[in-house]
Chain A
Amino acid sequence: MSIAEIFDSMEYGPAPESDENARAWLDQHKGRFDLFIDGNWVAPKTKKYFPSINPANGKPLGEIAKAGKDDIEAAAAAARKAQKKWEKLGGHSRARHLYALARIIQRNSRLLAVLESLDNGKPVRETRDIDIPLVARHFYHHAGWAQLQDSQFPNHEPMGVIGQIIPWNFPLLMLAWKIAPAIAAGNTVILKPAEFTSLTALCFAELCKQAGLPDGVVNIVTGDGSSGELIVGHPDINKIAFTGSTDVGRKIREATAGSGKHLTLELGGKSPFIVFEDADIDSAVEGVVDAIWFNQGQVCCAGSRLLVQEGIADKMIAKLRARMEKLRLGDPLDKCIDMGAIVAPVQLQTIEALVKKGQEEGAEMWQPSWSAPKDGCFYPPTLFTNVTPAATIAQEEIFGPVVVTMTFRTPDEAVKIANNTRYGLAASVWSENINLALDVAPKLDCGVVWINSTNQFDAACGFGGNRESGYGREGGMEGMQEVLQPKFIRTLPSYKPAGQHKKSGDSALSPIASIDRTAKMYIGGKQARPDSGYSLPVHSAKGDVIGEVGHGNRKDIRNAVEAARKATGWTTTSAHNRAQVLYYLAENLDIRAQEFADRISLQTVVSAKKATEEVEAAVQRLFTYGAWADKYESRVHNPPMRGVTLAMKEAIGTVGIICPDENPLLGMISLAAPAIAMGNRVILIPSERHPLSATDFYQVLETSDVPGGVLNIVTGLRGELTKPLAEHDDVKSVWYMGDEEGSALVEKSSIGNMKRTWTSHGKKRDWFNGEQAEGEEFLHQATQIKNIWIPYGE
């Protein structure tokens, strides 16, 4: 086109970023990439390679090794061998290494940006301006955590070897999120990049070598899902960190159940983007662009459900359509486009199928008038209106450039629709009314809320979800807590159940000495008879029958969870109020100390002195959590923007607690007190062997202003009760203190709603030991962190 013609048309021209250096790098490796194990490039024992394809043109970029069993074995061995030395190097030396990695990433930033765009199909604008700068920032930030580790995480140690499996949507950024905190803390890693996008991880491996990182600290093994399974199943790996689909996350949870592996999962989402009528609508429209057309919508936290207040819906949709007409889609290396290619044909087919389904179900689809390129893997930005919450496309994650629109009338309704999903990753809230925005944000059940913004990320701010979006946080202090553990954990002895009841055949019950007491369950603030109508005998240490408790079943669990669900007032009441209730519990327990001590020594083999000590410790523990209730506070992060990110510690919701056999009072209080102090509602299964300390305790609850439903007690056989509790879809976390088998059962049963679990992995804690029984770990387990991004300025 001549200059004169362009002068008239004022069109944009092509603005290609050169791929020369990336091509040269691929050529340097002769288009074939081996595994990076123990600091060396190793050919896979499988002798198999698979192609990596550029989705923008369907052409191969190179061949990638497929790791098999022997290769994962070698990588795990290399990581194990390197770990102790890496840990012993100390925080400062590790900080130097991470700093060097940050610098070398910056020095190679354009190569990495172009390579990522070629491999993934995302616009080079995004890799250049967002992905790669965040990668470097992540290493800088975590160099700092390594430096401060001794002072900030005393009495903690790295978990050991961490297996990490990452997705294809942000290949190098997800690598950084996984590797930087892990190695900063002194762990070593085996990372498997996604099959579609391995190249930048391999380039990173090369940079690790160049930057002088010790061999074996970072091992990169490429391959498909089967290679990932081998990592998940490897016995000598201490933790698995996974980012990807909920389906795969569920399989990983199942596969690792009972293995003792720590697990963090960052899974799918169907995040709401809520626009109130007092929002800056033009800016909100631009927000939608950043929410759903960023990386072609292949973003776990994409704002894929647009919820608009009814009064402005028509206006907003009209503006959005006009904006969509202006979007440009094309060659990812063109610096003048908004959207690039979908990662692979299989993903394109998924998107097409869901869009078709949406139309079949009666939603109205709209796409801009311009057409997407025919060659290569492209899909146009797509808007659905006339969508109901019941529609498939309103519930299923599409993972493509497709946004569905629904309307709401009131803030409450917005929250309801927003939370009407199995997922809980992120949300975006648009309003110029700070009262409204800050009121809505805490009500959204998700891990991240962006006020008047969207898809903001920073190394200092934790990221991660609730519900079926996974658990664990990455980034900031929250993320460091996921790669460290208290040092005592490794020293804990094995848990031994209290053993079979001795049965003397005698009854110690005498209605003359004391009137018959029927211990019931405690559900919704009321004593409740067991649904089964059966009771179980409780024996003394000598084997005499000293009472009976209800034989609880799954229906009692159901009733207890329902009662807990209704007690939301406890979660929203002030921390001061909760503190008062905990102190009051302590007061009332203290009054009856002798009675509780007698009960302990009657049930267990301990001396009267030891039993008294247990009650005293329980009273103290209630005081401890009364104290913590209003002191385990939120943090404020300072990401690089004008604004703050509020890392709000929130109650998890309904928590199931399965108590250990030993220390029937102290064990129970040690677990229940932190949970309720943080605002959770609890279903408690007391010591199976010694349940009377728990059933006695409901009288203390009744006299201490504990609202009904906050602490529910279901007695019975733990083998029968654990499963329905751990499977219940309305329970958000289950704690299990007991044997290995039960720990495995809880973890396996959790996969339905991907609830959090905290199990003892068959280890036994000393409930008198403050570090083991009332450490910050308990508060951490009793809360989840929501990062609320609040940009400001007028």
Chain B
Amino acid sequence: MKEIAIVGFQQSDSVSDAGAVNEVEMIMPVLSRVFQQVGINNAQDVGFVCSGSCDYLQGAAFAFVAGVDALGAVPPIKESHVEMDAAWALYESILKIRMGHADSALIYGFGKSSPGELPIVMSQQLDPYYLAPLWVDSISLAALQARLMLDQGLITEGDMAEVVSRSRRNAMNNPHAQLAGDVAPDDVLAQEMYLSPLRKADICPVSDGASAMIIATVEKAKEWGMPYAIISGIDHCIETHNLGMRDLTDSVSTRTAAKRAGMDAGKVDVAELYAPFSHQEIILTRALGLADDTLINPSGGVLAGNLMMASGLSRIGEVFNRIVSGEVQCGIAHATSGPCLQHNLVTVLEKA
């Protein structure tokens, strides 16, 4: 099987409201930086392009098609899109390369969530007969999950506050973070309940922004001559849409995906986990069996800024950055989709 390398990754700042910026204007600066990083001109210089976005976020039909105007698609390019986080666009791109249909790919994800009421928009991804008509928002569902954990003694509010505190402190070293600061767990616990048992700090913010990545076969990466990291495994797994039938205190699908991706829990220097709610980072850490000395979410994770449809790709990019900088040897990245960690993707990365 063809070994695949990540050669470039760039992301925009996470901002609460990008203002007068449309999707093309949001994507273009990130793309031009990732092209520059790899030393290529535009999408004509890669074999495949795949993006991840969701038009419901900003309520603009075919925003994802408008995004193609950022690519330089004349003459025509091979291009695809997933109505999912761009981590799944990466997955599609890897398949494309492994099938021999391309030797390199550009992947990007973008989301402008600020124009809509994101938790309510997300309610419409639920079962259209039983749940969507009730408008059960994404925060409320996560709150149900958190209380299950608390009631069963699997976590305490203090544990959740620790996650928030670490995120805020780690994010102080992340120039793209939206929420960062020297916040102690007690500061979090002093906050009033927002959607009990969740405090506002337990919930990722609503963010606008984009991220982009370039991958290639190892041969192509060597030809480009830029530092790269190896994707040694990637897999994803989904659970039933019926929340009542799932064990919401665990993430079975994450564990399965990690196993299939070939993750060795003893060999994870860094883990970037897509946990939009504080308690979910704990669920994921346990499901993956991460060791105590694994660095978890050194970027601050998505509690520091959540680019819907791009944050999953950014988790992979964050691990890539730490590997090529020499900070770590290996790591894993996790991406999620759906309510209460329904659908999970795990990527295993190694130093070249």
A and B together in one complex: no
Which residues of A are interface residues toward B (Cβ below 8 A)?
none
